[in-house]
Amino acid sequence: MGTIKDRYAIVGVGESERSRKSGTTPLHLALDAANAAIKDAGLKATDIDGFMNYNEGDSCTSHQLATYLGVRPKYVKDIQGGGASTEMLIADAAALIEAGQLNTVLIYRSLNGSSGTRVGRGYDPDMLQGALAGGSFVIPYGSASPSQWFGMYAMRHMHETGTTKEHLGHVCLSFYEHAQRNPKAFLHGKPLTMENYLATPDISSPFNIHDSCLELDEGNALIVTSAENAKNCTSRPVYIMGMSARQCHPHAHYWNDIDQVASDYVAKELYENAGVTPEDIDVAAIYDCFSWVVLRQLEAYGFAKRGEAGEFVAQGNLKMGGKLPTNTAGGMLSEGYTHGMNNAIEIVRQLRHDYEGTDRQVEHCKIGICTGWAGPDIAGAMILRN
Amino acid sequence: MTYQKPIPLKDQDNQAYWDAADKHELVLQKCNDCGTFSQPPGPTCANCGSANVGWEKMGNDVQATVYSYVVSYRPFLPGFQDELPTIIALAQLDRVPEVKIMGNILNCDEQDVQIGMPVQMTWVDITEDRALPQWQPVTN
Ligand SMILES: [Zn+2]
């Protein structure tokens, strides 16, 4: 994807209300998000000729969304997927535009993740054994929640590097602090102290409730088009400098190798394509389904050496004014949770300087990174600029 | 009282493992071409893609050390609500260090579990004809 540098842009972003009980369907939430993104871009719905969605069997289809926007699209695509799907679909959109198939693509993620189908629980055990690679070697032992799966990775990593529970807490505290400046964050008005964090009992060691992402009802959308088309939009375009759409390490055997993660493979291609280094990044959106996942990615993407991510975070570097302000709307730990798209939306807003003149703006930021993590085995990421 | 927890489902690729487990033995899938052990087993070798895979008997005296673990305080599956907290561990086999096998550590207080702790495999009869490999601390 090296050749696409600076030739594609995100020109619109939008989200629905977020809540524990929307009282409505993912289609309604998707329409709210899509309309907000279209308005943000200064486009008409009929300017969009491609619609893409990722879901876990918990959403409406792209075809439905397009229909109720009054659009007869040239192209619809719905993929099964969680984290890193935002990056992959943006790459797919750029490729289809590059190939002359489409002009402008709307990508969305919408779910009733609290009141409807929940990601982290409620599966039929026999279905899970079949659906999960090697599931019969995991499910009979009571391991069915991402908190338990990633906890296994985290405990080993902490053992090897000396990363501590307090370090995990600093990730949470940093993002909760951002949520207190974001009135739309779900945990706005619910600040977190280290004392409270450490006093909260674990759900799956080393994680307590604060280390885990929120499950909410929410829709998000963003619009991708060419740099040329972006001139017709009223928003300030945010250009894609480089991507590594989706890389994998051995799927079925990831229980047997909990030391490597797919993000390790993504970083090299990503920086090569973008032509920048970690030192050039001003603002970050790091996939944060769990606090530890942030620490491990800080290592993978070169922001801290192995074993030093905990100290990097403890020094306040993820906060406003730190070296790498990260998940500045509160992230999935405290703003909302759409498998990464809410973090992608925030980095676009930061790079557009939408918050200029407030304490939420990362001053003078030019280049941002957005990472996706679909578990240890799949990751994708992009680097954006204004 | 019938067993409430999920029972390992046998399929084409894992049948030999679970059939052996029912007889209180461990077998591991091994590639006859490149020598790689596969855990969990699969249709072919995930290292080289060869379909020339077989099974190696490891017997019923299986020693390992805890490679990582979580202590789970909430039940995410039926049956576990009665045995909280649950220790879920990944144990590295002494004889085949490239293989790690997940299991619960039985007869172990959650404060006592730690990475590097020696454990041995034990088989728990869960139905009339099924048994589940588990770990327990090595006691002298
Ligand atoms: Zn092989």
A253 to B46: CB separation less than 8 angstroms, yes or no: yes
Distance B105 CA to ligand 1 centre (A): 31
Provide the percentage of residues in chain B whose pLDDT is more than 70: 99
Tens of pLDDT, residue by residue over A9-59, are 999 999 999 999 999 999 999 999 999 999 999 999 999 999 999 998 999
Q: Which of A120, A145, A156 sits opposite B67 (nearest CB)?
A: A156
Cβ contacts from A onto B, under 8 A: 122
Residue A193 burial (10 A CB sphere; 0-12, 13-18, 19+): exposed
Distance from CA of B133 to the nearest CA of A (A): 10
Contacts of A124 in chain B (CB under 8 A): none
Provide the percentage of residues in chain A whose pLDDT is more than 90: 85
Q: Which of A98, A110, A351, A340 is nearest to A225 (CA)?
A: A98
Mutation for A interface: B14, B44, B68, most A CBs within 10 A: B68
Chain A residue closest to B105 (CA)?
Answer: A141
Distance from CA of B139 to the nearest CA of A (A): 22
Distance set, CA A237 to CA A8, A230, A349, A364 (Å): 9, 6, 10, 16
Is A222 in a helix, a strand, or coil?
strand
Tens of pLDDT, residue by residue over A50-105, are 999 999 899 999 999 999 999 999 999 999 988 999 999 999 999 999 999 999 99
Tens of pLDDT, residue by residue over A261-302, are 999 999 999 999 999 999 999 999 999 999 999 999 999 999
Chain A residue closest to B21 (CA)?
Answer: A137
Distance from CA of A277 to the nearest CA of B (A): 33
- Cα-flanking dihedrals φ and ψ of residue A99, to 5°? -80, 0
Q: Which of A213, A264, A216, A273 is nearest to A243 (CA)?
A: A273
- Active-site amino acid positions of A: 287, 337
Peptide bond just before A201 cis, omega within 30 deg? no
Tens of pLDDT, residue by residue over B22-69, are 999 999 999 999 999 999 999 999 889 999 999 999 999 999 999 999
Interatomic CA distance for residues A48 and A312, integer angstroms:
42
A137 to B76: CB separation less than 8 angstroms, yes or no: no
Provide the percentage of residues in chain A whose pLDDT is more than 70: 97
CA A76, A77, A83, A88: dihedral to nearest 10 degrees?
Answer: -90
Contacts of A248 in chain B (CB under 8 A): none
Contacts of A139 in chain B (CB under 8 A): 6, 8, 77
Chain A residue closest to B89 (CA)?
Answer: A152
Quick one: pLDDT band at residue A255, thresholds 50, 70, 90?
Answer: confident
Distance from CA of A163 to the nearest CA of B (A): 15
Tens of pLDDT, residue by residue over A101-159, are 999 999 999 999 999 876 655 567 787 888 777 899 999 999 989 999 999 999 999 99
CB of B115 within 8 Å of any CB in chain A? yes
Distance set, CA B55 to CA A24, A148, A282, B46 (Å): 53, 30, 53, 15
Return the pLDDT at A103: 98
Chain A residue closest to B69 (CA)?
Answer: A152
Contacts of A202 in chain B (CB under 8 A): 71, 73
CB of B135 within 8 Å of any CB in chain A? no
Q: How many residues does chain B have?
A: 140
Query: Per the structure block, which two tokens stand in for A1?
Result: 């994807």
pTM value? 0.95
